Structure formats: structure tokens, C-alpha cells
Amino acid sequence: MKTIKRVTRYSLFALSLGVVLSLQAQDVHLTTDAGTPVGDNQNSQTAGPDGPTLLQDSHLIEKLQRFDRERIPERVVHARGTGAYGVFQPTADISALSKAVVFKPGTSTPVFVRFSTVMNYRGSPEQARDPRGFATKFYTQQGNWDLVGNNMPIFFIRDAIKFPDFVHANKPSAVTGVQDANLAFDFFSHTPEATAMLTRLYSKEGMPDNYRDMDGFGVHAFKMVNANGEVHYVKFHWRSQQGLHSLRPQQVAQSMAEDWNHYTNDLYGSIKAGNYPKWDLYIQVLEPKELAKFDFNALDDTKIWTDVPEQKIGTMTLNRVPDNYFESTEESAFAPSRMVPGIEASEDRMLQGRLFAYADTQIYRLGANYQSIPVNRPLVQVNSEDQDGAMNISGRKGEINFEPSSAKAISEDPDARLVQAALSGTTQQRAIEKKRNFLQAGEYYRALSTQDKADLITALSADLNHVTDDGHKYTMLSYFYKADADYGTRLAKATHADVARVKSLADQLSDS
């Protein structure tokens, strides 16, 4: 059946050549990539029984060439991933908020979800202390929408200009090839806005037991636009129907020793057993005028929207394991710039950088025509005037490769036009106002249970104890102390630091 499906996918090309293909199970045989039969797949052509191998053995040469080129560039981040197919179904009418058809009651939208770790390489243990990527591709009736996020609602930095530095500091050393807490906390000691995310990362939230038992977040604020052009700001939250379950610090090594592919095996085992994991999609909604009501910048992705209720708008079910890891999980490409009418980008500085960077990295990895790869291809007809490039299979015809043209009936869709947004001020290059770098880290810490606080101290102090630079270590401790005095004091004691010195440094910090 797989072979028949693949032939059907390209049947238009076969028919255009007047070729009739007939496949029968009993006639299936090994072929080259050109489709010609292979007579001997066990022995190379040689010059006599003891002579050298011949260059004219095209089957041998093709096999070796293809083998040499099996790998594509690894993702810089989110390299270790697992994907699954499923369906999203809306459960509420939010037409007053968005004209996006994906939310229309009664619709059913296919999805592909890729879970991942962030910093480690392909094939690394899945139990890393790391955010978990949670990227969803909706194959909607208006084209593809990519909701690209993590399992935590905030991020480490608030401006995309710092993203390459953040990754470099947390990736393996450029000298040793080994991750080094000294490098990571050197960067974080100069990045106080990361305090809240670090607190979450080293809490139970940062070590889910598996992919099914964790939530997902779009992280950034987005805009929803309704049919009247009215705008609301929203945040997306995938809430696991399976509940949230995490590994305690003492359990991580044991889990890794038992099966460092546990997350993938758990997800695929569950789906194969018919125990389909589900997530409900919730949104928080603000009117534009409400953005200013917080004592922090509401478009700062290092912050959650406190005291803003969530409303459920749909449910996603994952129900199919991909047939081919490479063609699905590895070649899947997500970019937050892939939005549909009714969903637009906010002014969030981190999101603004991701709008460019994510699509650009996919073009680098997979080529200009990456959106023609089956896992990335929209279900709707594509009518762009883009052309050519490596691996182009668009099948476009005719000499009209531009728009507008009186010779080709194709038009723009006024309903897809972006909403107008008011601008203010002048161009600038400076930090946002109302940073509040430590506020939410303290609020989060104080909301933890006694056991969860103890586990956070255990996990975070273990890495801080690897920091050999006293300046970086004490700076980090002062951030956590500024967030909450008990938090900082316990970390200082666990890292054999001078609590009085930590407090003195914290007293010099501003949280405005």
C-alpha cells in the first residue's frame, strides 16, 4: 500500500507523459532510483574474478552516493525530536475573536506535532534538563498554521538579538565539545530577565516524565482578528488531558539508564495501543487597551499574563505514528511566520526575530522548496509565483510566472489582508520599560509545594556548584535572592556561598 500511495502522489506527472503504471504485489522487485530493475544487489561488477571494481557499476555508485548524502544539516536547536500525526477539533465558537477557519465549529483539521529537547544533538538522551519543544502544524483550509512553542509559558530572553548568544552559551563548548555550566551561567549572570525561566527549568516543570504528560505554550502574544477587523491579543496554552507528571532530580539518572529514548517509546507505544494522547487548547485574551494594565510589559515573553482567565477553544488528539522518521520528524519544518487569516504576529520582540529566523533556518536545512515536502505541504492548492530552485516539483506550466497579468486569472484575497496597526514614537535601539526581571520568579517559587521547592534547590544547586567563577556564581545567587529571600538563602547554603554577600548584592538590584 505504501508503494501505491507514493505512485498516486506523483500520478499527474505520469499521466502527463501518457504513461500507464500498473503495480501488482507479485511483480514488486528491487529497482534503482530511476526505476530500472536491479539484477544483483549482492555483488559489485569487477574486472575479472580478482580485478578492481568497475566505475561503470552504476547501481553500486548510486547506492554509495545516496548513502553519503543521507544526512541533512542538523537543527541548531531542537535537533532531538519525535513527531506524530493527529487532528484538531474546535469546541467553542470564537468567531467574535478570529476569522480563522481552523476555529470554525464543525471543522476538523489534520495536525503534525513535533516534540523535542532544545540544546542537545540528534540521538542524545531525552531526559535532559531542557525546555521541551512543542510545535504544531495545522493543515487548515486556509493553508498551514504553525504554532511553535515550548512546554513552559515563558522564555529566557526578551529580544531575538540575544538568541544566538543564548544558544552558544548553552551548547557544548567550542573547545571541548562538552556543555559547561560556567559558560551558561556566565551568560545568565548578564541576563537577569532569565531568572523566572531558570526557576521553572530547574523545577518539576523542567523535567516532564514523558511528552504526553506535559503542557505546551505558544509563549508569545499573538493577535487575533475577526471579520470586522477588530483585534485582540491572545496567548495559547495546550493543556494535557493526561495530567502533568515529572521526574524528581533523583529519578533522572535511573530513567536515563533504563531507556534514554523513553519519551519517544512512551508516545509511540501509547498511540500504537490506541491510547491516543489529547490536549485541550486554551487561550488568554486581552483587548489592546488592557496591555498597559500590568506593572510589566505585557509583550515581554519572559512574563506570563497574571490573573487573565483562560477559555477552552478546542481539543487535539494524536492518533498516528509516522511511517518514516526522516520524512516526517526530521524533514518537518516549523516557523511562527506561517499564519493564516485571523491570526497575526504581535509586537513581541522575541517573536519578531523568530518570524524571520525559523523560516530561514528551514530553507538552509531543506532548501528553498521545503514547503513542497509532503509533511510540510499544505492541503490546499498552492498558487504562488515562486519557481525553480533545487528539488522543485511544483509542475507549474506556462510562461506567466508573475502577478498581476491579464493572461492569467489569479487575484488577491482581500479577506487575507493584514489588519492596520497604529505606530508611535521613533526608531530606537534600547531596552523595554517595566522589566520586572525578578517578580514572577519569586511568585512562582512561593507557589511551589515544600517538596517541589526542595527539588528545585537540589537540581539548580547541582549545576551552580559547577560554576568556578565566584563573580558569576554570586551574581546568579543574588538574582534568585532578589526573587525571594528564602529561595536565595537556600541556594546559597546549598552552594556553600556567603549568604550575607548574596543579600548585599541582591539589595543593589532594582526590580522595576
The catalytic residue positions are 78, 150
Task: Of 85, 143, 100, give the one whose Cα is nearest residue 313.
Answer: 100
Place of cell 536547536: 77
Task: Of 131, 277, 152, 146, give the one whose Cα is nearest residue 217.
Answer: 152
Find out whether 139 and 378 touch, Cβ atoms under 8 Å. yes
Task: Of 224, 227, 244, 225, give the one whose Cα is nearest residue 236.
Answer: 224
Instruction: List C-alpha distances in Å: 16 to 10, 12, 185, 374.
Output: 10, 6, 60, 21
Q: What is the largest CA-CA distance in the chain?
A: 84
Find out whether 213 and 241 touch, Cβ atoms under 8 Å. no
Cell numbers for 11: 500520478
Residue 343: helix, strand or coil by DSSP? strand
Q: Is the Cα torsion angle 395, 398, 402, 405 positive or negative in sign?
A: negative
Cα 83 to Cα 97: distance, rounded to the nearest angstrom: 30
Q: Where are the alpha helices (DSSP H) in 367-413?
A: none
Cα 434 to Cα 45: distance, rounded to the nearest angstrom: 73
Task: Of 321, 145, 169, give the one whose Cα is nearest residue 218.
Answer: 145
Cα 257 to Cα 266: distance, rounded to the nearest angstrom: 15
3-class SS shares of the chain: helix, strand, coil, % to 5: 35, 15, 50
